[in-house]
Amino acid sequence: MNLVEHKTAVPDGYTPIYMPEDLDNVRNDLTGSYILMNDIDLSEWGTWVSIGTLKAPFTGVFDGNGYAIKNISNLFGFFATSSALFSLLQNASVLNLGMVNCAVSSLAYSDAYDGNGAVASVAESSFIFNCYNTGDVRGVALSGNSFVLTFATTGGIVGKAKDSFISNCYNIGAISVFSDNFYNSAMVGGIVGYAQNTRIFNCYNTGAIEGYGTTINSPDGIIGGIQGAGGIVGSISYSEDFDEIIISNCYSAGVVSSYSLGHYIDHLYPFSAATPIPIPEKSIGAIAGSFSSPDKFENCYYLSSNGVKAFGGQYDSFDASPLTDEEMREQSSFVGFDFDNVWAMPDDGGYPVFKSMVYTSDPDPGADPTPTPCSNNWLTQWLNNFIKSIMRALISLLTFGLL
């Protein structure tokens, strides 16, 4: 396996990053070019504040140089615009970067918009290449009002991508989104939560993708507020003049599922179900949850044993093929994949990986993949449970009009 070769000399025009403080200083020059010279461990940093803002985006170049940013945490990034490494990428490039054991959560409340991803919350007219995520990314959409629309887009790499190009990226982390209202618009995907006029080439996902809603719109079985949940992309849209393939040479082996936490009871208390109820609804798919047209996919594959078909609406076609576990381990199954320059089959018989992959762990999830969230230490689990309790309390208070 040919890994990314680390540059030992700092390229001309680049600012080197050796320590967490160097990484934090990127926000002081959002137009610069930066390169990691070693792994950056943020486990002692505390809550990470995303680089850039929606009004002052990062417009430079960030080269991970085959290294990783580890243990980034923003579990309490609520009521903020971002909880990712970068808030907004605009005409920027991020490449050769790993995000290891991250734990980021964000919340959009009442007529707000929030994106969330390990690398960036939102990417506009940007280039993201050879990046990966192994940790947990969560998004929450709370409206507090039955008729208020709140957006939350959550992806393993990027929350929302517009007019961008994403290639040679993968996710093995657990990605989830929660919505408290049928009128919300929550999207979740292994690579991108919501893609608009964006091309996604040579990517894969083996992480668990989950959407949670609190209401069910009978008789269609649409989970409240979950617009799209997909192994690669949650939801896709594009303009009339966009005539390019959107998803090409990608595969997903992660479990994609959506759940209802119960029906509303007289629009007062949303949690009538004691445990989440799995709902096979029409906006989830192994490749894409919801999309505008069937002619934007090429050479896509997914693990058939996960029980979800390629696209929302629970059907196959559009050049997306189901494969068994055995077929996923055979190079001949992936017609259209470039095994000379991009892809490789692991020597141990696993699923396809990148020749230039920056993460050396075997991505093979096994015959019945059940990805384990990376943030499994006791403190993170305690914090996760605490956050869920706070969310439930907030929803109840909002629903009763006490906030």
CATH number of the domain where residue 215 is located: 2.160.20.110
- pLDDT tens digits in sequence order for the chain, 403 residues long: 346 789 999 999 999 999 999 999 999 999 999 999 999 999 999 888 899 987 899 999 999 999 999 999 875 444 444 568 998 999 999 999 999 998 876 655 443 446 788 999 899 999 999 999 999 888 776 555 444 445 678 899 999 999 999 999 999 999 988 766 555 567 889 999 989 899 999 999 999 998 776 554 433 333 444 557 788 988 888 887 777 778 999 999 999 887 665 543 333 334 444 455 555 456 788 888 876 665 678 899 999 988 888 877 655 666 788 999 999 999 999 999 999 999 999 988 899 999 976 444 445 544 333 333 333 343 344 345 444 545 544 544 444 444 4
- Give the range of the structural domain holding residue 297, as residue numbers without chain letter: 41-49+65-399
**What are the tokens at 358?**
């920056």
How close are the terminal C-alpha atoms of the chain, in Å? 55
Which residue type does 258 have? S
Count the alpha carbons within 13 Å of 198 in the hemisphere toward its beta carbon.
Answer: 30
In a domain, 59, yes or no: no
The span from the CA of 26 to the CA of 28, in Å, is 5
- In this predicted structure, what is the pLDDT of residue 108? 53
Which residue type does 323 have? L
- In this predicted structure, what is the pLDDT of residue 383? 43
Q: Which residues of 156-190 are buried (b: 16+ CB within 10 A; e: fewer)?
A: bbbbbbbbbbbbbbbbbbbbbbbbbbbbbbbbbbb
The span from the CA of 231 to the CA of 359, in Å, is 20
In a domain, 139, yes or no: yes
Residues 6+ apart with CB under 8 A from 315: 309
In a domain, 277, yes or no: yes
- In this predicted structure, what is the pLDDT of residue 241? 79
Do residues 99 and 132 lie in contact, with contact meaning Cβ atoms separated by under 8 Å? yes
Do residues 50 and 27 lie in contact, with contact meaning Cβ atoms separated by under 8 Å? no
In a domain, 55, yes or no: no
Count the alpha carbons within 13 Å of 192 in the hemisphere toward its beta carbon.
Answer: 31
In a domain, 134, yes or no: yes
Do residues 209 and 230 lie in contact, with contact meaning Cβ atoms separated by under 8 Å? yes
Report which DSSP code applies to 396: H
**What are the tokens at 273?**
């179900």
How far from the centroid of its chain's Cα atoms is residue 382's Cα? 23
The secondary structure element, H or E, covering residue 327 is helix 325-328
In a domain, 18, yes or no: no
* pTM tops 0.85: no
Which residue type does 99 have? M
Domains of the chain: total: 1
Radius of gyration (Cα) for the chain, nearest Å? Answer: 20
In a domain, 32, yes or no: no
In a domain, 4, yes or no: no
